Amino acid sequence: MDGNRRWATKHLLPRVAGHAVGVKNIKPIVKAAIDYGVQSVTLYAFSSENKGRAKDEVESLIDLIRKHLLPLSKEVLALSARVNFFGDISYFPDDVQQIIDGIYKEGEGLTKSVNIALNYSGRAEIIRAARLAAEDGELSESSFERHLYTAGTPELDMIIRTGGEKRLSNFLLYQAAYSELFFTDTLWPDFDKAELIGLFDEYSHRTRRFGTS
């Protein structure tokens, strides 16, 4: 979900104000994806690297998480999907961690998922999974994958990055091995259902060979 601050600048708002606008776009896009039939959606909301931004921006991002997580999770549950969290949530203040724990428990048993990457780093996820798999006594692809945050979710088919940059920025690095990548110049607050459905259509016309043909 890239491009919030540029959106704010374009609309003559303070840069940090773009995040509050971007947050409002999460629900309609998640709903559109789940309604379309997507089984698992992952939102890259706050990367481990984002912690290095200016203190006031980090604080306002944490405030937005504190304010919007519970209402968003209700919307997700209403779509019969659970909310999962990818990343090291021990970084967040206790009250935010409590909100996260409560939300996580509420969705138990649901198969569709909306995963929110918070303090997430793809490299850290790989190191963590390797360590846990080795602790189990065996390091194989299947033992490793059981310890990824995505364990139990389907293959990662599509990655969409808004905001014009053409890179993964430490997002789901292991899972992206055969994902189809989509980059749009649209800034996240302007990304809408019509564009999402257009990308699903483009995806349906791509031939996926997984290296076998």
State which of residues 5, 82, 147, 161 lies at the interface with ligand IPE (CB under 6 A): 5
For Mg ion, the closer CB: 55 or 105:
55
189: partner contacted, choices Mg ion, ligand IPE, none (Cβ within 5-8 A by kind): none
Using rule CB under 6 A, residue 6 touches ligand IPE: yes
Comparing C-alpha atoms, which of 175, 194, 191 is closest to residue 183? Answer: 191
Known catalytic membership, residue 50: yes
* Span near Mg ion by CB under 5 A; candidates 2-10, 122-130, 191-199, 201-209: 2-10
Using rule CB under 6 A, residue 153 touches ligand IPE: no
Report in angstroms how near the CB of residue 5 gets to Mg ion at its nearest: 7
Known catalytic membership, residue 56: no
Binding site for Mg ion (CB under 5 A): 2
